[in-house]
A and B are shown apart, each in its own frame.
Chain A
Amino acid sequence: MELVIKDYTKIIRKVTVLDQINLTLTGGKIYGLRGKNGSGKTMLMRAITGLIRPTAGYVAIDGKKIGKDIDFPQSVGALIENPSFIQEYSAMDNLKVLANLSGGIPEEDIRSILERVGLNAQESKPFGRFSLGMKQKLGIAAAVMGKPQLIILDEPINALDEYTVERIKELLLELRNEDRIILVACHDREELDYLSDVIIHIQEGRIVNDR
């Protein structure tokens, strides 16, 4: 899988939030996105997932342009900003409805991913009564469920304990080895350096360097 971002510019209410972004992301790598608050990290993630439409340029996945040929990447899992689910449903029910919408993922796989992020698949507690950490775990589980080709995680380790952070890192490295494209934004420099194969530095909506 290859994701190409070509001359992508987004202007919202006369403010350029993404400016001439050019990037190529390939499978089997974790890309770390670094930048200050408001630098455009989340906006870039929105652009890749098709949540916003470009003012100029495009995002293409395997040659298919988002917003033109496809509405959103065909195989994507993302956690962008706060995890949000149906308040009255349990973790399992929430993932089951999302799995049905994306073409069906076996119940056993959903159960397994919940256990891996540290949630109990049997628990009937509704999402509305989850702690911040549990919500975050469910957000990550939803993003990686079904092992999509493209995984986008915005501050995934926020509100997680050390033990869970280790499990999530292990999971991401495993997915990378299965040839997935993983894009992670994180404020923790050490964690990001440890996880990432490539660091992309974004500043005021522009890529300033990537190594």
Chain B
Amino acid sequence: MIEVLHFEWNRAMRSKRIWFVLGAGMLCSVLQAVHYEMGGIVKNFYENSDYPIVCWLSYLGRDIQLFYRSLYYLIFPIMAALPFAASYYEDKQSGYQKVLFMKVKRNAYAAAKYLVAFVTGGLVTVLPLMFSLFLHAGFVPGYPPSELSLQAVPLDGQPYCNIFYEHPFFYAVIFWGIDFLVGGCIAGIALCFSLIAKMKYSIYVFGFVFCILERTILYQFDCVNWAFSNIAEMTDLLLNGWEIFMKLIVTVIFSFALFVGVLTRKDVL
């Protein structure tokens, strides 16, 4: 299991796609920071707001002044699926799967595939956010956040609200952890879809389509808070920490069992 995990991880790291996606995320962070500084948003806050702008609320993960965050959370399901979710499909199409299935057990192969897709999906979702906060900390003050701020602060009833005001960095770490799991879940769901996919590109966009459909359906039943896109953004979210983790853990268990279960029983033609 360790050998095949190591092998799949190396394949992911040696592929150009993961670096392309990370580069695109980092570029988004840099553009947002440049736009913030050049657009005079920081200066405007000092002059017109009761409370100065703080980096905890201005970085890519929390900002509501510019469009970059909305764009980021719109495309993150595609970013999460790009690095490795299509790798099973590629192995199947090229015939490499036949070579591997005579070297490693199918369940070890499937588990390693899922794990690497999950971790790479989570990493490409979170690393640009982390980079953005550290970038903003370079030119935006790191005061403790205040409810008086004109930025998007978490309100009472929203998850980890108290932690945000007392330990904003710790809140950011929890937020990244949740986004890591959401990115991983989307990659895992896209990997499951690759079991029946007929075209490689459909795997990349599947997470995106899934998130839109899920949100639309949950909205009809008045439970839009449970949508992946809402959990990832964590703004206007009315779930508690346990509910968030329950949704994510159930998704991980279900998608993992589905992928491993189907793959181990499937004929390789």
Q: Which residues of A contact B (CB under 8 A)?
A: 12, 46, 49-53, 71-73, 76-78, 80-88, 97-98, 100-102, 142
21 pairs of residues in contact across A and B, judged by CB atoms under 8 Å: A12-B267, A12-B269, A46-B267, A49-B101, A50-B102, A51-B98, A51-B267, A52-B267, A52-B269, A53-B267, A71-B101, A71-B106, A72-B101, A73-B102, A76-B102, A81-B95, A81-B98, A84-B94, A85-B96, A98-B103, A101-B104
> Which applies to chain A's interface (DSSP): helix, strand, loop or mixed?
loop
Give the residue among B94, B95, B101, B102 with the most A Cβ atoms within 10 A: B102
Nearest-neighbour CB distance to chain B for A68, whole angstroms, equals 13
Q: Contacts of A85 on B, CB cut-off 8 Å?
A: 96, 99
20 more contacts with CB within 8 A, not counting A49-B98, A83-B95, A98-B103, are: A12-B269, A46-B267, A50-B102, A51-B98, A51-B267, A51-B268, A51-B269, A52-B268, A53-B265, A53-B267, A71-B105, A72-B101, A77-B102, A82-B95, A84-B96, A84-B99, A85-B96, A101-B3, A101-B100, A101-B103
B4 within 8 A of A: yes
- Chain A: which residue is nearest B14 at the CB level? A88
Say yes or no for B219: interface residue by CB 8 A criterion: no
Closest A residue to B106 using CB positions? A71
Compute how far the CA of A51 lies from the CA of B263 in the bound complex, rounded to whole angstroms: 11
| In the complex, B200 has a CB within 8 A of chain A | no
User: In the assembled complex, how far is the CB of residue A103 from the closest CB belonging to chain B, in whole angstroms?
Assistant: 8
Do B268 and A84 touch (CB < 8 A)? no
A interface footprint on B46-59 (CB within 8 Å = 1, 0 otherwise): 00000000000000
**What is the bound-complex CA distance between A142 and B102, given in angstroms?**
11
Candidates A51, A86, A97, A142; contact of B101 at CB < 8 Å: A51
B-side interface size class:
20 to 34
Report Cα–Cα, A104/B24, bound state, in Å. 38
* B11 adjacent to chain A (CB < 8 Å): yes
- Where the two chains meet, the residues of B that have a C-beta atom closer than 8 Å to any C-beta of A are 3-4, 7, 10-11, 14, 94-96, 98-106, 265, 267-269
Partner of A49 from the list B14, B102, B106 (CB cut-off 8 Å) is B102
Q: Which residues of A contact B104 (CB under 8 A)?
A: 101
Given A50-B101, A52-B268, A100 and B95 contact (CB-CB distance below 8 Å): no
A72/B269 in contact, CB under 8 A: no
On chain A, the residues within 8 Å of B100 by CB distance are: 101
Residue of B7, B14, B94, B265 near A101 (CB, 8 A) is B7
Q: How many interface contacts (CB-CB < 8 Å) are there between A and B?
A: 62
Which residue of the partner chain A has the closest CB to B265?
Answer: A53
Please pick, from A78, A88, A97, A100, the residue contacting B102 in the complex, using a CB distance under 8 A: A78
Residues in B whose Cβ lies below 8 Å from that of A82: 95
Interchain CA distance A46-B104 in the complex, whole Å: 16
A46 with B269: CB separation less than 8 A: yes
**In the assembly, what is the distance between CA of A53 and CA of B263, in Å?**
12
- List B contacts of A83 (CB < 8 A): 95
- 3 nearest A-B pairs in the assembled complex, by CB-CB distance: A84-B95, A51-B268, A101-B103
Which of A71, A72, A83 has the largest count of B CB atoms less than 10 A from its CB? A71
A75 closest partner in B (C-beta): B102
Chain B residue nearest to A81 in the complex (CB)? B95
Cα distance A53–B268 in the bound complex, in angstroms:
9
What is the bound-complex CA distance between A52 and B265, given in angstroms? 9
| Cross-chain contact B98 with A101 (CB below 8 angstroms) | no
Complex-state Cα separation, A121 to B4, whole angstroms = 24
Q: Which residues does chain B contribute within 8 Å of A51, judged by CB atoms?
A: 98, 101-102, 267-269
Question: B38 → chain A, closest Cβ, in Å?
Answer: 40
Q: How far is the CA of A26 from the CA of B14 in the complex (A)?
A: 42
Residues of B within 8 A of A46 (CB): 267-269
Q: Nearest-CB distance from A161 to chain B (Å)?
A: 23
Q: In the bound complex, do residue B267 and residue A72 qualify as a contact, i.e. CB atoms below 8 Å apart?
A: no
In the complex, what residues of B have CB within 8 A of residue A87's CB? 94
Given contact pairs A49-B102, A100-B7, A101-B4, A86 touches B268 in the complex (Cβ within 8 A): no
Residues in chain A near residue B4, CB distance under 8 A: 101
Distance from A43 Cβ to chain B, minimum over Cβ atoms (Å):
8
Bound Cα distance from A98 to B268, whole angstroms: 19
